[in-house]
Amino acid sequence: MNRVVVITGASEGIGAELAKRLGAQGDAVVLAARRAKELQQVADAIGSRAFPVVADVTQRAQVEALRDRALERFGHVDVWVNNAGRGIGVHVLDLTDEQVDEMLAVNLKSALYGMQAIVPHFQARGRGHLINISSVLSRVPSVTYRSIYSASKAALNTLTANLRMDLRAQYPNIHVTLVMPGVVTTRFAQNALGARPSVSPARIAAQTVQEAVEPIVNVIEHPVPEIYTNPASAEFVQRYFQNVAAFEEQFATHAR
């Protein structure tokens, strides 16, 4: 039986491409984003199995309404993908309260609202798959001007792991996956707030959005706790934790 998949941040980038891939293989996809025109364009490209819902996922009530509309339309949800997010280019000492609050709202609280909205439905069914899209920068401080973005994603990592542990014993058929893309050729950097420095964020080749989405499609078929969309990212992260001082010295010249 084909799945019902809810994807936030589905108007472009990874969310849009994932929706197209899943729709092409017969899944029903519920698309959520704030921009109605762009969201409808993605839905039109998918066809009748796409259900666009305009929603601001930084608002808990709108996330709950998204869940309710998905259930009203399809009767159940099999997979929920918390993909909505936004970057910012500001170093730690330059951050304002407003910038911190916005990044936490977009990158952390929106995913928390999604988790709290959909997991009780999964518990009632005894199965389901929650996927949270994070970033390699949540593990490695190689791009210091992404400071609060990286911190918000690191917090998302922790919430994801703790939820997985909470569910493990009683709900073995509810899967919780953390996905960590690296550099992906989307409009993420152009849409980021603040400055957009020209330095290379990491010494890892950028992936196309299609390349980044392929592992996400695979993890829906074969759930695991966490994945990097780029195999080179795992080695990159391992090098950091093996020798933090050496790694940071190497990247210090790229911090500004």
Tokens representing 126 are: 């005894």
Strands (E), the chain: 4-8, 28-33, 50-54, 79-82, 88-89, 128-133, 174-180, 193-194, 226-228
Where residue 175 falls (left for φ over 0; alpha for ψ -120 to 50; beta otherwise) is beta
Rg (CA), the chain: 18
What is the chain's length? Answer: 256
Look at strands 128-133 and 79-82 and give their pairing. Answer: parallel
Looking at 149, 171, 228, 240, which residue is catalytic?
Answer: 149
The dihedral through the CA atoms of 103, 108, 112, 115 has a sign that is positive
**Can 149 be counted among the known catalytic residues?**
yes
Instruction: Please name the residues in contact with 44: beta carbons below 8 A apart, sequence gap of 6 or more.
Output: 50
Q: Which residues contact 232 (CB under 8 A, 6 or more apart)?
A: 182, 204, 205
Residues marked active site are found at 149
